[in-house]
Structure 1
Amino acid sequence: MATQPTSPFPSVDRIVRFEAVARLCESYGRGAVIDAIRAVLDDYRARMSQPEYLSPSDKELSQQIEDRLRARSTPRLRRVFNLTGTVLHTNLGRTQLSSRAIEHAAMAMREACNLEFDLDSGGRGERDSLVEDILIELTGAEAATVVNNNAAAVLLVLATLAQRREVIVSRGELVEIGGAFRIPDVMRSANTRLIEVGTTNRTHAADYQKAIGPKTAALMKVHTSNYKISGFVADVAEPEVARIAHEHQLPFIIDLGAGSLIDLTAYGLPKEPVVRETIASGADVVTFSGDKLLGGPQAGLIVGKKALIDKIKRHPLKRALRVSKPVLAALEGTLLAYRTPDLLVQELPTLRLLTRPVADIEALANRLLPHLAAALGTQWQVTVTPVASQVGSGSLPVEIIPSMALTCRPTSAKVGTALQRLSAALRKLPTPVIGRIADDALVLDLRCLEDEPGFLAQLSQLVTK
């Protein structure tokens, strides 16, 4: 009788009784540990035919199992240091929420709450009512509603007010809003026909007048927040477009994109349209984002005339696009900060970072310089350099904000390879550091670095070779 070949590895049942592996069952559960054992054994079996293969010891097997379990249980969404110079970096999560917003969202996730319950009447309530009153107060609109982002807000507005009809928009305002999503695409998704007027650089009031016909449902302006055209240009002011729309009993829609609830010039920042001013200009419906200049969570805010907002709320898409209770709570916590405008800079991280004095950033850079230089060694030259930050996320695209950076230049001849290696090493730190490569250097813009001790503490773990 032939004998079965002996396995070069211990059985799964024996491995799970290893002292180090048995302890893992308490943290990860027996089922997950057994799955990890089998996966590790499969990896070793796949490498057995390789000349350099060595059979693992029991200790090595235990460590491999623990490493796999730890990796599988570690969240992929991680905190990073945003040293790119872009404050509202889309790829890095845009807005950092205020403490009040975070605490309010945590309460909503942790406890039962009156999400759709009217505490006065004891009956069913509407979740929008939690923030509608304060949005009316802050914008001067008659009514308001909330969906999950501004693209959804535009989609819902058009689907409600202009389905199977025409919306007139200036050709110069047909922006791409990111990720290859474009205003014309959103309009098509809402089953709305786009009527372009004017040219890329010049649109006149007569262009709107001539385009209005029996199938026209609305006139629309889109704030070109993510690009600027200069030179021989002409645009029609919002009050004039509103007058033309209202003369023909048509609603006037404005998509502000980023949207701001305050005049940023009061904080030394460039001018950006204020929602209240847009409403005052004659707009019937205005859409804008919650997670850009407003400083809150990702959301699309819709404010305007009550009759139109009520109609928008009743559209079937509204339920599909509504926000969850943590988002709504974070939005309410953010909006409440605007009732104490004198404290906004202290409370809202977005405004605090955008208005951070250059002198403070330079002082930070000078404190960090010797530590980073020591961690990098003689193969790198580290200097404090003036740089230009930007708002980001399509806001104020051509405006720059003076800042200071630690600029790292390799002393070796292979500049490109050295920069990529350093960039990768910084990303492998416990809290990944994300900078930008420019002008043959790695630039670490310090405008958004507020955790100085946390940054310094991990420099000893930086490996650049």
Structure 2
Amino acid sequence: MTTTTDVRRSLPAVDALLAHPALQQAQSRHGKRLIRRAVRQTLDKERACLARDAGNSRLPTAAPETAMTIDALAEKSLARLSQLARPHGRAVFNLTGTVIHTNLGRSTLAETAIEAMTQAARHPMALEYDLESGGRGDRDRLVEELLCELTGAEAATVVNNNAGAVLLALGALGAGREAVISRGELIEIGGAFRMPDIMQAAGCRLHEVGATNRTHARDFEAAMNEATGLIVKAHTSNYAITGFTKSVPEPVLAEIAHDHDVPFMVDLGSGALTDLAAFGLPYEAQPRDAIAAGADVVTFSGDKLLGGPQAGIIVGKRELVANIKRHPLKRALRLDKLTLTALEATLRLYRDSDTPQREIPTLALLTRSEASIAETGERLLAATQALLDGMEVTLEPCMSQLGSGSLPVDRLPSRALVWRPLSENRRARAPLLKRLEGAFRQLPRPVIGRLRDGALHLDLRCLAGAEEEAAFIDQLAILKECFAREGG
């Protein structure tokens, strides 16, 4: 008669595995709680695998050497520990060719903004405390004066993002009434944010006028009635209508709105605080322009062309901004102290710095010269050629884009490292490229590129500075291992 035993019982107990020297050594860095969790998950996975392989929970008698050794289990536990300890919000190399990439966190912050956030995180601060009077203050005061100075507005307030700014402004100014807007400006941005939907959520009734490609002043005049609450103009920042087109200039819309005693609101979406054309970039509408044209309220983002933290900025007439700040949603959408201090530091660079295009990282990347990118490319080409068997690497011209709905048809000349499989078998190239792309994403600091035209393109515009370049090169030694693992 054959005796059976459950081989899973040959797996060590949790405490026995925790006593392994390698795991004991890891405790000084990670602590017992996380290591115990990694060990438990490793053993649970091994038990499940043994049961699955046998087809049931009872396995034939096995010699001890057939079970996984405690050294191997410790190694697997350390690998699991590494996964558990790795944060989800990891720094990456953005080599996609999109500078302001929504999925990669949009703008990176200036050093002064980072330092301001650090101080705000480390110490109590006068957030809603008036140091002069000793009474309660308004957190908007951290940035309101700066925003008014930079835009020419009478007052300002800030919320968590521009979608929130639009929602709040519409709700405060037009709830229960009609919001008149050109049919060609009923925008949709990422995440299914649609202007008609946000108007409905704000309690406004959409009144669209004109045609998709052409809207005239007379269309707005004909739409005005006793139910009109405001006129809205939305900057079409993430698409362009070309050809037989016409739109109504902001000064004309302001005049129509004011003749009928309703506010004129402009949603700029991106919104730049400086003349980008002065730095050799395409011109982008500024809040100051809209205010000068007669807009009563202007909304724009903090983390796009402005190059600051995520924020929705509202500037305009003092009375209207005060109404917006009294809306019940204002508190729900307000900024925290870290974001406010980062925004204040960024705005101070625009006001005080002689070279904001160098100190604000987003502007520095957008204005980076093609020659500088090419020099980086030549150095990286020497480090990557012949790195992986079966892969050819070349340095080629490419065009970067600004991203996040900013200047959608404009491109910036750049250089890319282009990886192509050498295989003559066309059907084998696509899997090789997917392996390569996956290997780059598995690096300690993942590298995010773009698969296009049978190759992996790594646009080097956002790989700027000796420190970043060295960090990229240091990881190349790991790429072979990741590439092999992706194939296994």
State the secondary structure of the residue aligned to 1:250. coil
| Partner of residue 431 from structure 2, selected from 404, 413, 417 | 417
Matched, 1:244 2:246: no
**Equivalent residue, structure 1, for 2:206:** 194
| Partner of residue 437 from structure 1, selected from 451, 459, 473 | 451
Residue 224 of structure 1 deviates from its aligned partner by 0.2
Aligned 1:37-436 pairs, distance under 5 A = 37-49=39-51, 50=53, 54-377=66-389, 379-412=390-423, 413=425, 414-436=428-450
Q: CA deviation digits over 1:102-155, x for unaligned, max 9?
A: 110111111111111111111111100010000000000000000000000000
Name which of structure 1's ranges 193-202 and 381-390 shifts more when overlaid on structure 2: 381-390
Residue 381 of structure 1 deviates from its aligned partner by 2.3
In 1, Cα distance between the equivalents of 2:137 and 2:237? 36
State the secondary structure of the residue aligned to 2:393. strand
Residue 34 of structure 1 deviates from its aligned partner by 3.3
Amino acid at match of 2:40: R
Residue 28 of structure 1 deviates from its aligned partner by 3.7
Q: CA deviation digits over 1:305-327, x for unaligned, max 9?
A: 00000111111100000011110
Matched, 1:8 2:31: no
Note the aligned Cα RMSD (angstroms). 1.8
State the secondary structure of the residue aligned to 1:390. strand
Residue 25 of structure 1 deviates from its aligned partner by 4.3
Kept after mapping to 1: 8 A contact 2:386/2:392: no
In 1, Cα distance between the equivalents of 2:144 and 2:130? 14
Amino acid at match of 1:456: I
Normalization by structure 2: what TM-score?
0.91
Q: CA deviation digits over 1:20-54, x for unaligned, max 9?
A: 33444444443443333332221111111416995
Amino acid at match of 2:422: T
State the secondary structure of the residue aligned to 1:278. helix
In 1, Cα distance between the equivalents of 2:375 and 2:85? 39
Q: CA deviation digits over 1:326-355, x for unaligned, max 9?
A: 100110110010123521122001111011
Normalization by structure 1: what TM-score?
0.96
Kept after mapping to 1: 8 A contact 2:153/2:315: yes
Amino acid at match of 1:275: P
Matched, 1:449 2:463: yes
Matched, 1:35 2:37: yes
Structure 2: stretches of 5+ with no match in the other structure: 56-61
Amino acid at match of 1:444: L
CA distance 1:38–1:421, change in 2 (3 Å): closer
In 1, Cα distance between the equivalents of 2:348 and 2:139? 17
In 2, Cα distance between the equivalents of 1:5 and 1:156? 64
State the secondary structure of the residue aligned to 1:219. strand
Name which of structure 1's ranges 450-459 and 51-60 shifts more when overlaid on structure 2: 51-60
In 2, Cα distance between the equivalents of 1:16 and 1:444? 43
State the secondary structure of the residue aligned to 2:208. strand
State the secondary structure of the residue aligned to 1:400. strand
In 2, Cα distance between the equivalents of 1:409 and 1:11? 49
Residue 297 of structure 1 deviates from its aligned partner by 0.3
In 2, Cα distance between the equivalents of 1:17 and 1:411? 49
In 2, Cα distance between the equivalents of 1:16 and 1:415? 44
Residue 367 of structure 1 deviates from its aligned partner by 1.4
State the secondary structure of the residue aligned to 1:245. helix
In 2, Cα distance between the equivalents of 1:5 and 1:410? 48
CA distance 1:385–1:13, change in 2 (3 Å): closer
In 1, Cα distance between the equivalents of 2:92 and 2:375? 22
Q: CA deviation digits over 1:177-232, x for unaligned, max 9?
A: 11111111111111111100001000000111111111110000000000000111
Residue 19 of structure 1 deviates from its aligned partner by 3.6
State the secondary structure of the residue aligned to 2:387. helix
Residue 12 of structure 1 deviates from its aligned partner by 2.7
Amino acid at match of 1:461: I
Amino acid at match of 2:139: R
In 2, Cα distance between the equivalents of 1:59 and 1:357? 53
Residue 76 of structure 1 deviates from its aligned partner by 1.0
CA distance 1:183–1:5, change in 2 (3 Å): closer
Name which of structure 1's ranges 74-83 and 339-348 shifts more when overlaid on structure 2: 339-348
CA distance 1:30–1:404, change in 2 (3 Å): closer
In 2, Cα distance between the equivalents of 1:429 and 1:347? 29
CA distance 1:407–1:4, change in 2 (3 Å): closer
Percent identity of equivalent pairs: 53
Name which of structure 1's ranges 96-105 and 418-427 shifts more when overlaid on structure 2: 418-427
In 1, Cα distance between the equivalents of 2:420 and 2:85? 37
State the secondary structure of the residue aligned to 2:402. coil
Query: How many equivalent pairs are there?
Result: 462
Kept after mapping to 1: 8 A contact 2:38/2:84: no
